[in-house]
Amino acid sequence: MSNILHKDARGDVLAHVSGNLRRFRQAAGFSQIALAQASGVSRRMIIAVESGDANISLSSLDKLAAAMGVGFVDLVRDPERQSSTDVNEVTWRGKGTKSKGVLLGTAPARHETQMWIWSLESGERYDAEPDPEGWHEMIMVVEGSLTLILSGAEKEYPAGTFAIYNSAQEYSYANRQAQLLKFVRNVVS
């Protein structure tokens, strides 16, 4: 499974991304062409996301946010939500109905800290693109067993164990067990 946000009938985070992207782009004084040049994300993709007709990777959202001088959370957050730390949005779905990544909240860090709750059904896998240098993740397995793959090296983390690692490398989460996997994921940038 990829790291692409998919728009579907369940009202996930992409419902907010199109309007937020347009609003922040205009506030930053960028045309779609200028934002494409500044972010490295194609103009075609920006047009499609703003119109609500495209799926986009989490890393491409990071690139767009950085180019506009806003945080990733600013792009995915419901603009009607009052809390500055509570996000509680599904931002990734796997093939199984119980496989998902939910961005729970955020707190200030050098740039940003995010807390997620993830679940993967048996056989599901999430492949991430490397984050920018200096980013880290902290994982705490709540249920099941997580196979964490860092730059090709695999290690198993059963419930009750944790991992802290530099996420500026290729990494993946996999559930190779028969039962549901649940883990808390903190992203620190």
Residue 122 neighbours by CB under 8 Å, 6+ apart? 96, 175, 176, 177, 178, 179, 180
What is the model's pLDDT at position 154? 97
Average confidence score pLDDT of the chain: 87
Q: How far apart are CA 149 and CA 155, in angstroms?
A: 7
Tell whether 128 and 63 lie within a shared domain.
no
What is the model's pLDDT at position 170? 94
- Number of domains making up the chain: 2
Tell whether 8 and 50 lie within a shared domain.
yes
Tell whether 101 and 180 lie within a shared domain.
yes
What is the model's pLDDT at position 7? 47
Tell whether 109 and 161 lie within a shared domain.
yes
Tell whether 58 and 106 lie within a shared domain.
no
What is the model's pLDDT at position 15? 73
Q: Which of 8-12, 30-34, 77-81, 111-115 is the least confident region?
A: 8-12
Range of the domain at 177: 94-188
Q: What is the CATH number of the domain that holds 140?
A: 2.60.120.10
pLDDT tens digits, one per residue of 64-83: 999 999 988 888 888 887 66
Is residue 121 assigned to a domain? yes
Residue 173 neighbours by CB under 8 Å, 6+ apart? 118, 120, 125, 126, 128, 146, 147, 148, 149, 181, 183
Is residue 82 assigned to a domain? no
Q: Which of 63-67, 69-73, 87-91, 173-177 is the least confident region?
A: 87-91
What is the model's pLDDT at position 13? 63
Average pLDDT, stretch 110-129?
A: 91
Q: What is the CATH number of the domain that holds 16?
A: 1.10.260.40
Tell whether 70 and 155 lie within a shared domain.
no
What is the model's pLDDT at position 101? 83
Tell whether 56 and 129 lie within a shared domain.
no
- For residue 11, pLDDT beyond 60: no
H or E stretch covering 62: helix 58-68
Whole-number Cα distances in Å, 126 to 70, 110, 120: 25, 26, 9
pLDDT tens digits, one per residue of 19-68: 999 999 999 999 999 999 999 999 999 999 998 877 788 788 889 999 99
- For residue 4, pLDDT beyond 70: no
Is residue 84 assigned to a domain? no
- Percentage of the chain modeled with pLDDT above 90: 52
- Percentage of the chain modeled with pLDDT above 70: 90
Is residue 30 assigned to a domain? yes
What is the model's pLDDT at position 3? 52
Which of 25, 49, 76 is where one domain is finished? 76
Is residue 164 assigned to a domain? yes
